Amino acid sequence: MLTGTNKISNILLIYTGGTIGMIEDEQSKSYLPFSVESVLRFVPRLSELDLSLSVVSFDKPLDSAHVGLNEWLKIKNLVCDNYQDYDGFVILHGTDTMAFSASAVSFLLQGLNKPVIFTGSQLPISKVRSDAHENLVTAIEIAISQKNGKPNVPEVAVFFDKNLYRAVRSTKDNAESFDAFSSPNYPVLATAGVNIKFNEAFITPFSKKGISPLMHIEKNVVVLKLFPGIDDRFIKQNVSAPWVKGIVLETFGTGTVNLSADSIEVLKTAINNGVLIYAVSQCKIGSVEIGKYKSSSVLKEIGVLSGSDITSEAALVKLMVVLGNYSDNKEIENLLISNWIGELTEV
């Protein structure tokens, strides 16, 4: 435990793995995970912050490529189990799937009114030029920041390279730059420079309602990305599998599709059999507007649901969460097309 002088805030640091906590093997030159205690050794001045910092780590730190549904539930449970004892939470996570994990935890932690800040780095903290130090310190600062005794950011967010993003609006769009994340259709929640400037108008207001977490995730969901020349057999194979309960359909532009009459019939049959099809755009910026063009009106006719300007990452995990926790199809449909926790702009 690291303790500052005033101990204003209690923060729980949850270490899942990722580049931030890796060290280069001298022989293979590949990155290998090491302990969270080793990570904190590289940031000795954390003790100067006004906080009490506790740490919990996954038994086996994971590359984010291997973080999935079970780990999302584990993170959710760690937050819930420790919710009353801490003022905020910082999650150290690999960057490649951080937007998926952060979005999933957002949907699972219904009623959240404390900060849960995901962060990581493009280079290991042991590297001289690493971005890990600033990302970690600033994420913790955001987690402890308050105004009038209430947290400045009572929601799940991603902090990376000076910007704080709403988790369900975030996406990783750069594998090379320290500025690896963006929020294509929603303003940043805060910007860190000499001072941290909070964009209060776009942050979820504090609520006294209290946390009411969801418990399950449905895994039988697929993503179907359209492409020029897509074959009817490919559509049928992905849509008609008996185990499929939900499909995120990545359309062109504002919802246009290149589906044949046979493929449309396959989608229609699936929907009639209870499969939910949720349309999003392959474009980072903008929104699906089913029916705006003739080539998208057919989706509206057969009952495909519009995801508006939701990210593909948030669409997938939202579909998984609503299918896992609700049974009434009409209620599920209403949740999918509605702005539940700030993940989309309602038309």
With helix as H, strand as E and coil as C, how does 42-86 read?
CCHHHHHCCEEEEEEEEEEEECHHHCCHHHHHHHHHHHHHCHHHC
Please give the DSSP secondary-structure letter assigned to residue 295: H
Asked if residues 333 and 255 have their Cβ atoms less than 8 Å apart, the reply is no
**Alpha carbon distance 248, 305 (integer Å):** 10
Which sign, positive or negative, has the C-alpha torsion 237, 327, 106, 94?
negative
Active site (catalytic) residues: 19
Give the pLDDT of residue 25: 57
From first to last of its 347 residues, what are the pLDDT tens digits of the chain?
A: 444 445 478 999 999 988 887 766 556 556 555 567 767 777 777 777 788 889 999 988 888 999 999 999 999 999 999 999 999 999 999 999 999 999 999 999 999 999 999 999 988 877 878 888 899 999 999 999 999 999 999 999 999 999 999 999 999 999 999 999 999 999 999 999 999 999 999 999 999 888 999 999 999 999 999 999 999 999 999 999 999 999 999 999 999 999 999 999 999 999 999 999 999 999 999 999 988 877 789 999 999 999 999 999 999 999 999 999 999 989 999 999 999 999 999 87
Quote the pLDDT of residue 177.
93
Q: What is the CA radius of gyration of the chain?
A: 21
Query: Could you give the domains of the chain?
Result: 2-202 (3.40.50.1170), 221-337 (3.40.50.40)
Confidence (pLDDT) at 3: 44
